[in-house]
Amino acid sequence: MVHSIVWRVDTAEAIASQAQELRRGTVVLACLALLTTPQYGYALLETLDAAGVAVDGNTLYPLLRRLEKQGLLTSEWNTDESRPRKFYRISAAGAAVRDGLIGEWHDLVDTIDRLTKEA
């Protein structure tokens, strides 16, 4: 006797969850692309949001610190205003990594385009 299991899937919820997974890996590339001009964390959050890249501050700030520790970003404190702000900018190593990731991104987009056209 063969038994089959029927799973009930909330399609909208599944799409939202999987879309979040897709976007997770793109935040690094988005940050490296945007930080050719110095920005502080909150301004970067707003810029990403305006561009359609939804990211939470609890995700972005640790990511910026990690990228800085890896040598992909540099930072500088601006104490000229009443509230000190840490400004981030891409380093030379970060620019090289960004350029490599852009190539990887284009290859991935081409591959997914090809696969989805075949499906």
Domains within the chain, CATH numbers bracketed: 26-118 (1.10.10.10)
Q: Are 48 and 30 in contact (CB under 8 A)?
A: yes
What digits encode the pLDDT tens for the residues 17-49?
Answer: 888 888 888 999 999 999 999 999 999 999 999
Instruction: Kindly list the distances between the CA atom of residue 11 and the CA atoms of 14, 23, 79, 88, 113, in Å, as whole numbers in the listed order.
Output: 5, 18, 49, 39, 22
Give the model's confidence band at 102: pLDDT under 50 very low, under 70 low, under 90 confident, else very high: very high
CA 27, CA 53: separation in Å to the nearest integer? 7
**Segment 78-93 mean pLDDT:** 93
pLDDT score of 7 more than 80:
no
